[in-house]
Amino acid sequence: MIPVQGFEGARVAVLGLGRSGLATVRALLAGGATPVCWDDQQQARDRAEAEGFELRDLHRQGAFDDIATLVTSPGIPHLYPQPNPVIRAALQAGVPVDNDIGLFFASLPAQGWDMLDQPPKVVAITGSNGKSTTVALLHHILESVGRDSQMAGNIGRGVLDIDPPGEAGVVVLELSSYQTELARALTPDVAILTNLSPDHLDRHAGLGGYFAAKRRLFAEGGPDRAIIGIDEDEGLFLAGQMSQASSDDRVIRVATGRKLSGPGWQVFARKGFLSEMRKGRQVGAIDLRQMMGLPGAHNHQNACAAYAAARVLGLAPRVIEAALATYPGLPHRSQTVAEVAGVRYVNDSKATNLDSAAKALSAFKNIRWICGGLEKEGGLGALGGQTGSVRKAYVIGREAAGFAMQLDVEAEVCTTMERAVACAVADAEPGDVVLLAPAAASFDQYDNFEQRGDDFISEVHKQLG
């Protein structure tokens, strides 16, 4: 646990009592604060009360009269599309609002760190797609060389629930735009932006607000090193803002599908090969094509970002290459779940938006594509021209018929995962890939994308016997 500092003897309100909320309450207590808790869900309040935490209805008049700070869970809107009533009441009372990420960065440095030969480091990773894979991949690389590493944030443990890192320890954080937008403290040693594509636009009042939330990690965080994907204009712009000159190696530019050149520090993947360039010279190269845990250009982009971070942390190219070769992949992200009779079955349930689905489709050939679900804003127009490898689509979801009509490939309306997998298995021929890449949210039929992916895996195993 990381005890929260700076609130000794103060009362701190905590709104939202899920995994991160309860960890925040415990960390506040450990730091000498008095937390008061609220969640609109009775079940969550019951869990907090069972641990002996003080409950207070933060909706009632005067609830913030004795409160020093409100700590809110990231999923609760604080500005757009409109503030949660509790957050608005706190702001009207002049009470600062923060989240667990802000408390973590303000509380992590410990006495005695200046006596360590290698103080701990924090690597914070954000972006639209590939965050979890990049976090898990860097964590895997570090563990493979015996380096103390912990994953936290949106993956692994809550940030305040981790163990205090010691000599040469590394904390690898996955941070969403919800988290970076609100955190009052953001001070990573290394910050990474994987990429940027439209997502959560209602929460940020458009693409500009979404980019601004991501940008805070760099502009306000002041990392020692910034690793920035420049395949989109926003990343290119951010890299330019963070650089003092073209040779400034505090910024590492990452790209896929093209070679980068110049006097600075670049890592790029092209035709399946990763290259590291410094001062105009190649200093590292890795063949990614046969690495089963990293299929497709999108995973090669993740590999470039993780490689760059590992280099910043002092690892040699050949050490990183050996670790990449043993990376097993994350569940629900280009996860091979079976390979029978020449047909490969891949679970990419995490492909919940068009950009991530397009990247999954580009990673394979001869695809039997299972897609559909709760369609996101903007329709499926952005998938036009991205389906050249699809032999047939099998559409699931409550609005499967409408979803299928927007596709530019042969599509069968299946509605359920059971029928979609059965039809795909029946149609598949040697050399085909049955790919779940929904291009949609899961909430019309499932609680989350993990449940949807597990259903796919279960049906595949059932159909294959």
129 is in an annotated binding site: yes
My answer on whether 414 and 449 are in the same domain is yes
Q: Are 122 and 287 in contact (CB under 8 A)?
A: no
Average pLDDT over residues 17-26: 94
Q: For 229-239, what is each residue's pLDDT tens digit?
A: 999 999 999 99
Phi, psi of 395 (to 5 degrees): -100, 130
Q: For 155-192, what is each residue's pLDDT tens digit?
A: 888 999 999 998 899 999 999 999 999 999 999 999 99
CATH value at residue 362: 3.90.190.20
Count of domains observed in the chain: 3
- Determine the structural domain holding residue 389 and report its residue range: 335-464
Classify residue 30: in a domain, yes or no.
Answer: yes
130 is in an annotated binding site: yes
Whether the pLDDT of residue 369 is over 80: the answer is yes
DSSP sequence for 343-363: EEEEE-TT--SHHHHHHHHHT
Q: For 411-441, what is each residue's pLDDT tens digit?
A: 999 999 999 999 999 999 999 999 999 999 9
As beta bridge partners, residue 150 has: 171
Classify residue 4: in a domain, yes or no.
Answer: no
Residues 120, 328, 275, 359, CA torsion sign: negative
Residue 41 CA to its chain's centroid (Å): 26
Classify residue 163: in a domain, yes or no.
Answer: yes
Classify residue 202: in a domain, yes or no.
Answer: yes
DSSP sequence for 295-306: -HHHHHHHHHHH
Whether the pLDDT of residue 105 is over 90: the answer is yes
Classify residue 330: in a domain, yes or no.
Answer: no
SS3 242: helix
Q: Is the peptide bond before 223 cis (omega within 30 degrees of 0)?
A: no
My answer on whether 254 and 357 are in the same domain is no
My answer on whether 112 and 254 are in the same domain is yes
**Rounded distance between C-alpha atoms, residue 137 and residue 5, angstroms:** 31
My answer on whether 460 and 397 are in the same domain is yes
Domain final position from 98, 121, 154:
98
Q: For 254-296, what is each residue's pLDDT tens digit?
A: 999 999 999 999 999 999 999 999 999 999 999 998 888 898 8
127 is in an annotated binding site: yes
Domain final position from 46, 66, 98:
98
Residue with tokens 């896929």: 256
- Could you give the percent of the chain with pLDDT greater than 90? 83
My answer on whether 301 and 343 are in the same domain is no
My answer on whether 131 and 266 are in the same domain is yes
Tokens of 317: 């190219």
Classify residue 345: in a domain, yes or no.
Answer: yes
271 is in an annotated binding site: no
My answer on whether 239 and 129 are in the same domain is yes
**Rounded distance between C-alpha atoms, residue 24 and residue 97, angstroms:** 14
Whether the pLDDT of residue 377 is over 70: the answer is no
Domain final position from 59, 81, 98:
98
Choose between 108 and 111: higher pLDDT.
Answer: 108
**Rounded distance between C-alpha atoms, residue 17 and residue 37, angstroms:** 8
CATH value at residue 83: 3.40.50.720
69 is in an annotated binding site: no
**Rounded distance between C-alpha atoms, residue 164 and residue 251, angstroms:** 28
My answer on whether 68 and 119 are in the same domain is no
**Rounded distance between C-alpha atoms, residue 131 and residue 227, angstroms:** 13
389 is in an annotated binding site: no
Mean pLDDT score of the chain: 94
**Rounded distance between C-alpha atoms, residue 356 and residue 440, angstroms:** 10
Amino acid 252: pLDDT? 98
Q: Are 12 and 33 in contact (CB under 8 A)?
A: yes
Residue with tokens 């899961």: 442
Whether the pLDDT of residue 321 is over 70: the answer is yes
My answer on whether 118 and 140 are in the same domain is yes
CATH value at residue 120: 3.40.1190.10
**Rounded distance between C-alpha atoms, residue 134 and residue 215, angstroms:** 18
Residues 447, 452, 453, 457, CA torsion sign: positive
The beta strands (E) that lie in 260-307 are given as 265-270, 273-278, 281-287
**Rounded distance between C-alpha atoms, residue 119 and residue 171, angstroms:** 12
My answer on whether 88 and 115 are in the same domain is no
My answer on whether 125 and 197 are in the same domain is yes
My answer on whether 407 and 288 are in the same domain is no
